[in-house]
Structure 1
Amino acid sequence: MKFEDLKLTYGYPLQLQLNNSAGQPERFSCRLIGCMPGRSILLSVPRASGKLLRFRAGQKMVVRMMVDNGIGIFASIVEAQTAEPYPILHVSYPEQVSFKGIRGATRVNVDLPIQVKNLSAINEEMVSGVIADISISGARMELPEPIGEIGDKIRVSARVTVLNMERDLIVEAIIRSRLERSTQETDKNLPAVYGVEFTEEDEERRLLLCAYVFGQIVDDQQLTPT
C-alpha cells in the first residue's frame, strides 16, 4: 500500500517508535502536518514531560497509525528537525506501508486492573481483578472470587492510557461464559475466570474502549527499527 492511498488528513495522530541509547524501544505520539509525495513527511515534534524531544538526522524509526479497520506500519529515517517558524520533524517518505487488518474479535493480551460490579445482583458489591485479554467486543476477566452467573449484567471500570493521556474507562458487559483456569491463573490464585461481551451503548465510552484496544494492538506489534 502507498502512503498517499491512506488519504490521511492533516492533524492525523501517528505513533513513532525508536530505540533509546540502551537499545530499548520507546514510543511517542505526534501528528501529521504535511507531506511531499516521494520526498518527505512532516510531523509535529513529540513531547516528553512537557519538553520537545530532539531527534538527529539519520535516526531510524517505525511509524504506526490506526486506519479504518487496521494498522498501517512503515519504516522511516529522520531527515531534519527544524524549530522555525514552528517545530517540525522531517522524515523520509516510505515506498510502501504495511497494513494489518483488525477484526472485531482480534484480541490482545493485557494485564489491566479492573473493578467489576454485578448490576444484576441485589447488593451490587465491587470486586477487583484484571483483564487478561481484550478486544473491542469482549474480554477475559480474572477475579479472586465469583462475581455472578452467565447472563448477568456487569459494569467494568479501569484506568487506561491512550496516546499518553489517562482516562477512566467504564463499560457495561454481559457474562457469557465461566472459563477453565489456566496454570498461570491457578498460580495467581484467581479462581473466577469469565468471558464477557461488551454491551455499552454510550458512544463516548465505546470510542474510548476502541481507542484503548487499538492502541494495545499497535503496541503489541513487534516491528522495530533496524
Structure 2
Amino acid sequence: MATFKDMNLQVGARLQMAVQNGAKQLIYYTELIGYLDKDYLIIKTPVENGLSIQIQVGEQVTLRILSGVDVFTLTCHVKTIFRAPHHYMHLSFPTDIQSIALRGAIRAKVNLPVQVNGITQAGVIADISVTGAAIIADSALGELNQEALISFDFPIKPTNQSAHIDTSVTIRSIQQLPSKKKDAPPRFSHGVLFHELELTNQVMLLNLVYESMNRLS
C-alpha cells in the first residue's frame, strides 16, 4: 500500500473522480486545490454541461491520479461542499491508497482509427496505454526510431463525449504481420511511444485503460 507522501502531489494536479450512481460509475475530471495533512483534501467541484455536478455530503468518491510513472487510487468521502461562487469541496483524508506502476504500461484493447502525419485513417490503434500504442496499418508508417505526428479520438465515459488527442510519437518497433489469407496484402504493426502528453490527455487515456480493465474483470 502506498502512502500520501509517495504521490508527491502538487496543487493544480489533474484528478479523475469516480462516483457510484446505482449500477453505473460516473467519471469526472477536476483538480487539486490543496490539502491539510491527515485531515482533508480540497478539490474543485467537477463541472458537467456548465453546471457543478450534484453530489451529497457523505458520498464516497474514488480519485485516480497519475504521478510520474505511477497511478494512485484513493478512496475518500465528501465532508463539506462549498457552492457559488467558488464551487469546491473538502474530502476526507485518504487512508487507503493503492498504486500501479506504469513502467509495465497497462494497455487497453481498442479499435481506434488514427491519422498519421496528416493521412486520414492511416491505420488503427489496436491497443493503447498512457505511454504509447500499437498501430496496425497496410503499409509501414515510417522507419525505426523515426518521429511522426498522430491524432485520434475516443469516447469519454459515461457521457460518450469525444476526446481528441494530437501528439508526436517515436516509432519503436515495426513488424510485418503474417497474412491470414493466401495472397492477402501485408499488414504492419507499429509500436509507438508518446512524447509529452498534457496531463488532461493523460488522465483521459487513463480512464480509457480503466474502462477496458473493468470490462475484463
Does structure 1 conserve the Cα–Cα contact (< 8 Å) formed by 2:113 and 2:121?
A: no
* Aligned CA distance change for structure 1 residues 151 and 39 (closer, same or farther; 3 Å): closer
Other-structure match for 1:106? 105
Relative distance call for 1:96 and 1:126 in structure 2 (3 A) is closer
TM-score normalized by the length of structure 1: 0.71
Q: Aligned partners of 1:142, 1:168: CA distance in 2, in Å?
A: 18
- Alpha-carbon distance change, 63 to 141 in structure 1, aligned in 2, over 3 angstroms: same
Matching residue of 1:29: 29
Aligned position for 2:9? 8
CA RMSD across the alignment: 3.7
How much has 1:69 moved relative to structure 2? 1.5
* Contact 1:150/1:178 (<8 A) preserved: no
After TM superposition, the structure 1 stretch with the greater mean CA deviation from structure 2, 213-222 or 32-41, is: 213-222
Q: Which residue of 2 aligns with 1:155?
A: 148
Q: 2:126 aligns with which of 123, 126, 132?
A: 132
Q: Tell whether the 8 Å contact from 1:57 to 1:79 is kept in structure 2 after alignment.
A: yes
Aligned equivalent of 1:69: 69
**3-state SS of 1:133 partner:** strand
Deviation at 1:35, TM superposition (A): 2.0
Larger deviation, residues 37-46 vs 210-219: 210-219
Report matched runs for 1:167-206 at 5 Å: 167-174=164-171, 176-180=173-177, 192-198=187-193, 206=195
2:20 matched residue in structure 1: 19
Q: Is the 8 A contact 2:136 2:190 kept in 1?
A: no
Residues 13-41 of structure 1, C-alpha deviation per residue, up to 9 Å, x if partnerless? 111011224x2112111111222333221
One-letter identity of the residue aligned with 2:190: G
Residues 62-101 of structure 1 mapped to structure 2, 5 A cutoff: 62-83=62-83, 86-101=86-101
**TM-score, scaled to structure 2:** 0.73
Structure 1: stretches of 5+ with no match in the other structure: 118-123, 201-205
Alpha-carbon spacing, 1:162–1:100, altered in 2? closer, same or farther (3 Å): farther
Q: CA deviation at 1:70?
A: 0.5
Q: Report the counterpart of residue 136 of structure 2 in structure 1.
A: 142
Cα distance change on mapping 1:159 and 1:18 into 2, 3 Å: same
Q: Is the 8 A contact 2:39 2:92 kept in 1?
A: yes
In structure 1, distance between residues paired with 2:185 and 2:74? 40
* Structure 2 alignment gaps of length 5 or more: none
**1:121 matched residue in structure 2:** none
What is residue 220 of structure 1 aligned with on the other side?
209
3-state SS of 1:208 partner: coil
